[in-house]
Structure formats: C-alpha cells, structure tokens
C-alpha cells in the first residue's frame, strides 16, 4: 500500500502531466481578450474582486474544456501519429483522473460566476455545455472550427456580463472578432491532420475542401475578425491608439498567413502559437494604453 507521501507525489505528477496535456500556458490566447472586454466595459476602472474572479472563471473554463476534450478524443489521439504521445493515449494519466480534474475546473467556473453576479451564474451551465459539446462536433460537421470559435468567444461576453450584468453591441463585436480569429487559426492548425481526418471519417475544412481553399477560408475569417474589431469604433468611444492596435493585429494576421503555403506547411506551429499569442497580448496593451491616455 502506498504511503501518504507517495500518494501526494503521484497526484502531483499526474496533475503536472494534465497541465502539460492541455497546454495550460495557451490560456494566454483567450484571457487577454477577456481583459479587453473588462477594460472597455468598466472604462478602465477595474476592481481586484472583478479581476480575480474573471481570471478564475476563464482558467476554470479553459482547463475543464481542454480536459474533457482530451478525454473525449483519447481514442482518436491514440490513432493519430501527431497526438499518440499525449498523456492519456500514452498511459501517463487515466481518463478518470483527467475527468475529475476537469469537473473540478468547471466547479471553479461556477463558483467564480456565483461570486460575480446572478447573470454570470445563470449563463455558466450553458457555457459548460458549449465547451464540452465542441469536442464532438468534428465527428459530425465540417465547421467544427466555428463551434470552437463560438465557445472561446464566450470569454469576452462573459467578462462584459461580469462587469455590467448586461451585454452590449461592443461586447458582441468583440466576441464576433474572437470567434472569427479562433476559427481561422484552428483551420490553419487542422491542416496537419487533413489526411488523418479523411481516413478516419472526421470532419474539418481542410479535409472537406483541401489545403488551398482552407487557407482562403481562414484568410476570410481573419479579415472578418479585423472588421469586427474596427466596428467597435462605431459602438464605443475609442481613441487613436485603439486604431493603431487594430492595424497591428491586421499586420500580424497577414504575416501569419505568409508563413503557410500549400507547398510549405512547416511553420504552422510558429503561426499558431507565437503569432496568435502576440496578437492577443499586443491588442490588450494598445486597448489599455488607449483608455489610460483618454
């Protein structure tokens, strides 16, 4: 029988494996846009209470969603050469352990929502349903990328709801921008699995239409994302620095698409992780500075 120190060590090792499995550090993709929403909703007047519980809700939501995604897709991951070394198919953690942590994470989301306001608490079950449901969509629809974008676009909406108890056109524009941004780069990332998806009856834009059309669809979605960000200037009194931030986002998106061509897919990882991380952080910086100057 294992001693208590051994049990603690095993739990710690399992938890660190879980965090690596879900790429916990990639929370950075969605969190800055939630902060953009908070800053705009409060006009820069944040409170420690609001910031803490919004961060907790966002972290809980993404952790739970990614954990369930890995559990639901464990068999697919085992068959895919690109993903077969993930923690569950490789046997480093069990599905049960991953599911327990994911349920705990969603519990943190619900607790955080209850600490914010009633509207957030009432919305949290719907958010969990969408976050879990996304993982099944690649089995049924080519446009699962849009469902992923919709799931993550709930971050800015939830943050606005947390700050004001209501929603606005600005929050919808920001949410739509995130939806198109996420869906676009998820299409780029899924090019890696195009042949695997075709062979195993899974659905994606690249699998349905091929690489070149998929690249153009991703470009169109990213154009829409920039247009939605620009549209916020019609619903909110933004300044010059906000416009500069949108311009830089558009330049980074253009650069992202220059990294990937039908003949050279070797830089998908750079485009997916590095550029999109920069986009979210830089845009947050310009929005915050714009509000500060005003």
Query: What is the pTM (predicted TM-score) of this model?
Result: 0.92
Q: Are 94 and 88 in contact (CB under 8 A)?
A: yes
Structure confidence by residue, pLDDT tens digits, 261-280:
877 777 777 666 788 888 99
List, for residues 164-218, the tens digit of each pLDDT value.
Answer: 999 999 999 999 999 999 999 999 989 999 999 999 999 999 999 999 999 999 9
CB 141 within 8 A of CB 203: yes
Q: What is the mean pLDDT of residues 247-272?
A: 84
Whole-angstrom distance, CA of residue 44 vs CA of residue 70? 37
Give the number of other CB atoms < 10 A from CB of residue 262. Answer: 12
| Per-residue pLDDT band at 4 (split at 50, 70, 90) | low
N-terminal to C-terminal alpha carbon distance within the chain = 64
**By the 8 A CB rule, do 278 and 27 touch?**
no
> 90 φ, ψ to 5°?
-80, -5
* Each residue's pLDDT tens digit, 41-56: 999 999 999 999 999 9
Q: Under the phi-then-psi rule, with left for phi > 0, alpha for psi from -120 to 50, and beta for the rest, what region is 120?
A: alpha
Least confident of 22-31, 57-66, 106-115: 22-31
Smallest CA-to-CA distance from 182 within 156, 163, 203, 158 is with: 156
Long-range contacts for 18-23 (Cβ within 8 Å, ≥24 apart)? 18/67, 18/87, 18/93, 18/97, 18/98, 18/101, 20/87, 21/66, 21/70, 21/86, 21/87, 21/88, 21/93, 21/98, 22/62, 22/63, 22/66, 22/67, 22/69, 22/70, 23/66
Of residues 259 and 41, more confidence is placed in: 41
Predicted local distance difference test score (pLDDT) of residue 2: 56
Could you give phi then psi for residue 264, rounded to 5 degrees? Answer: -140, 100
Q: Do residues 117 and 37 make contact, with C-beta atoms less than 8 angstroms apart?
A: no
Q: Are 64 and 106 in contact (CB under 8 A)?
A: yes
Q: 4-293: CATH homologous superfamily?
A: UbiA prenyltransferase (1.10.357.140)
């Amino acid at each position: 029988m294992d001693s208590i120190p051994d049990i603690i060590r095993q739990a710690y090792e399992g938890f660190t494996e879980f965090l690596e499995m879900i790429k916990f550090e990639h929370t950075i993709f969605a969190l800055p846009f939630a902060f953009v929403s908070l800053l705009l909703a409060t006009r820069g007047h944040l409170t420690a209470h609001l910031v803490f519980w919004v961060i907790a809700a966002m972290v809980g939501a993404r952790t739970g969603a990614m954990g369930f995604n890995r559990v639901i897709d464990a068999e697919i991951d085992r068959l895919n050469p690109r993903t077969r070394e993930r923690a569950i198919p490789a046997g480093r953690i069990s599905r049960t352990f991953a599911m327990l942590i994911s349920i705990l994470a969603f519990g943190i989301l619900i607790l955080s929502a209850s600490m914010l306001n009633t509207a957030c608490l009432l919305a949290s079950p719907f958010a969990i349903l969408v976050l879990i449901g996304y993982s099944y969509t690649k089995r049924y629809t080519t446009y699962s990328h849009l469902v992923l974008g919709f799931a993550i676009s709930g971050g800015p909406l939830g943050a606005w709801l947390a700050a004001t108890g209501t929603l606005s056109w600005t929050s919808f524009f920001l949410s739509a921008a995130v939806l198109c941004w996420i869906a676009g780069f998820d299409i780029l990332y899924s090019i890696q699995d195009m042949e695997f998806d075709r062979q195993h009856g899974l659905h994606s834009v690249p699998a349905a239409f091929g690489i070149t059309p998929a690249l153009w669809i991703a470009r169109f979605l990213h154009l829409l994302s920039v247009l939605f960000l620009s549209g916020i200037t019609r619903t909110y009194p933004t300044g010059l620095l906000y416009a500069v931030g949108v311009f830089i986002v558009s330049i980074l998106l253009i650069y992202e698409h220059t990294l990937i061509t039908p003949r050279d897919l070797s830089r998908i990882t750079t485009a997916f992780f590095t550029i999109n991380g920069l986009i979210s952080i830089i845009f947050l910086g310009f929005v915050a500075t714009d509000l500060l100057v005003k």
